[in-house]
Amino acid sequence: MGDEQRLPPDELIAQARERFESAADFTVAVEEEFALLDPETLDLVNRFEEVEAAARGTPLEEHLVGELIASEVEVRTGRQETFADVPGAMATRRAHLRELVEPLGLVLGATGTHPWGDWKKQRIIDTPHYRRNDELLRYVVWRNNTFGLHVHVAIRGTDRAIAVNDAMRNVLPEILALSCSSPFVEDVNTGLHSARTQIFTRFFPRCGVPDAFGDWRTFESFVRFLYDTGSVTEHTQLWWSVRPHLAFPTVEVRIADGQPELAEAQSLAAFAASLVVRAARAYDEGRPVSPLPHRLIEENLWRAIRWGLSGELLDFERGEPVPARRRIEELIEWALPAAEEIGAAPYLAIPERNAAERQIARFEEGASLYEIYAEQVLAPEAARG
C-alpha cells in the first residue's frame, strides 16, 4: 500500500474505481492497534523496531505493521472471505503478538488511550509516510497517542460503496458508544468515555464524520480537488471515521476505541461489519438508508464521546433521546439478517459493562490508574480467547 499512497491522483482514482467495480462482496479484514508497555511500570516504551525485527520469518510478519509512534504496534487479520473466519483470525493474531513480545520483556495495552503516557516522550517511527505526516501536522500528530480498531468490508460497485459509506455515517455514534474504552489520559480522569475520539477527531483535518457524497462522481471530484489544491498528498490523509478506502475496495469503519477483551473486540467487529452489509442490502433492495445531516450525527457523536454506553443517544425518528443500549439493540435487530448472511450473528452482543464503564467503576471505587490499567493489559488467556 505504501507505493499506492504516492501514485498520481488520476492513476490512484482510476485503480480504486476498477477495484470497487470488481470487488468480491463482503470480504472482511480487521486491524487492531496495541500499546507496547514495560511489564513492571506499564509505561509506554519506544520499541516497535525490535518487535518488527522479531516478527521476521514468523507467521506474524505479514500481518504486523507500525502505526505512527514507536510505542505502538498494529496487527491485521488480512482479508477473510467471510466474517465467520474473522474471530479466529483475531484470536490468532493477538496470541501470536503476545508470544512475540513476551520474550522481549514487553506486554500489550489495548485501551483507546494510555492513562498517563506523556506524548512528549513518544517517538514517531522513521518511515517516509510518517515523516511526511510529522512534517505536515506537527503538534496535531504528536498528540495522537491513541489506539483503535478498524473494520474493512469489501463492497462491489462505486456508487453502491458511496451509498454504504453515507449510510454508515448515521451509526458511527452507536459503534463508538459500544466500543468506548478511554476515560483516562495524561494522568487525568477526563469525564469522557472516549478521550481517544475527542483527541483524534477534533485534532486531525478531514477527520470525524464525513459529508454524504451521494455518488462516486461527487466523491471522486472532491478527492481530485484535495490533490489539485495540495490539501493532501496521500489518500490516507482522508482520516474520516468511515471512508471508502482508495487502496482496497472497502468501506472502512474507523470510529472504534481499542478493546482489551478479545470477545468484545470480536463482537464489535461483528456489529460494524453487519451494519455495513445491511446498508448494502438496503441499497440492493431499492431502499437505501437516507443519510442524516452532519449536524445531527455530531450531536450523537458528542453524546457517545461523553457518556458512551451509559448515556442516551438521540433517536431521530422518535425525536427524543433513548438509552444508548436500546439504540444498539435496535440496530442489532435491523442488521441481524445481514449478520446471519456473513456469519457474524453468533458474535453480536452488548456487554453488561464495556471497557470504559468498567474502568470508571473501578476509579469510583478508589483504584489507582495503575491498578485500573493493569486490569486492561492483554493477559495470555485474553489474547488466546
Has residue 383 been placed in a domain? no
Has residue 385 been placed in a domain? no
What's residue 382's pLDDT?
A: 43
The residue range of the domain holding 44 is 2-377
What's residue 203's pLDDT?
A: 86
**Coil, helix or strand at residue 157:** coil
Length of the chain: 385
pLDDT of residue 183 exceeding 90, the answer is yes
pLDDT band at residue 5 under the 50/70/90 scheme:
low
Give the sign of the dihedral formed by CA 211, CA 213, CA 219, CA 224. Answer: negative
Has residue 288 been placed in a domain? yes
User: Among 128-137, 284-293, 307-316, whose mean pLDDT is lowest?
Assistant: 128-137
Has residue 276 been placed in a domain? yes
| Cα 204 → chain centroid | 15
Give whole-number Cα distances, 49 to 8, 24, 73, 104, 144, in Å.
30, 35, 10, 12, 19
The tens digit of pLDDT for each residue in 61-115 reads 999 999 889 999 999 999 999 999 999 999 999 999 999 999 999 999 999 999 9
pLDDT of residue 3 exceeding 50, the answer is no
The model's pTM: 0.95
Distance, in Å, from the CA atom of 322 to the CA atom of 352, rounded to the nearest integer, reads 18
Q: Where are the beta strands (DSSP E) in 206-356?
A: 207-208, 239-240, 242-244, 250-257, 312-315, 320-323
Has residue 183 been placed in a domain? yes
If one counts the domains in the chain, the total is 1
DSSP calls for 98-113: HHHHGGGT-EEE-SSB
Distance, in Å, from the CA atom of 219 to the CA atom of 225, rounded to the nearest integer, reads 10
Q: Torsion angle of alpha carbons 253, 254, 257, 258, nearest 10°?
A: 90
Average pLDDT over residues 18-22: 98
Rounded to the nearest integer, the mean pLDDT of the chain is: 94
Portion of the chain with pLDDT greater than 90, in percent: 88
Has residue 110 been placed in a domain? yes
Q: Are 297 and 172 in contact (CB under 8 A)?
A: yes
What's residue 129's pLDDT?
A: 82
**CATH, residue 313:** 3.30.590.20
Has residue 384 been placed in a domain? no
| Cα 181 → chain centroid | 12
pLDDT of residue 289 exceeding 90, the answer is yes
pLDDT of residue 140 exceeding 90, the answer is no
Has residue 121 been placed in a domain? yes
Going by C-alpha positions, the residue among 276, 299, 302, 300 that lies closest to residue 289 is 276
Burial of 43 (C-beta count, 10 Å sphere; 0-12/13-18/19+): middle
pLDDT band at residue 202 under the 50/70/90 scheme:
confident
250-257 and 242-244 as β-strands: parallel, antiparallel, unpaired? antiparallel
Cell readout for 217 is 462522481
Going by C-alpha positions, the residue among 354, 33, 376, 330 that lies closest to residue 178 is 354
What's residue 379's pLDDT?
A: 59
The tens digit of pLDDT for each residue in 215-273 reads 999 999 999 999 999 999 999 999 999 999 999 999 999 999 999 999 999 999 999 99
Vertex 169 angle, CA 346 and 296, to 5°: 120
Phi, psi at 43, each rounded to 5°: -75, 150
Give the sign of the dihedral formed by CA 54, CA 144, CA 121, CA 123. Answer: positive
Give whole-number Cα distances, 138 to 143, 157, 239, in Å.
9, 37, 16
Cell readout for 365 is 471505587
Cell readout for 127 is 518511515
Distance, in Å, from the CA atom of 128 to the CA atom of 123, rounded to the nearest integer, reads 14
